[in-house]
Amino acid sequence: MQTLTHSYRGLGLLMRLNWDRALAGFTILGALTAGAWLATL
């Protein structure tokens, strides 16, 4: 049971780290898209 709990905590940490990276990537992509759209105006 301890192994299962420890694995679940590790998986939660991994998901939090990956979510942070994904959010940063989407933010950069959104900023580039907005900049390209503004340049066409």
Query: Rounded distance, CA 16 to CA 8, Å?
Result: 12
Give the pLDDT confidence score for residue 6 in this predicted structure.
58
Q: Specify the DSSP class assigned to residue 24.
A: H
Give the pLDDT confidence score for residue 18 in this predicted structure.
77
Helices (H), the chain: 2-39
Distances (CA, A) of 3 to 6, 13, 18, 22: 5, 15, 22, 28
Q: What is the pLDDT of residues 1-41, one digit of tens each?
A: 555 555 667 677 777 777 778 888 899 999 999 999 999 98
Q: What is the pTM of this model?
A: 0.57
Query: Rounded distance, CA 26 to CA 33, Å?
Result: 10
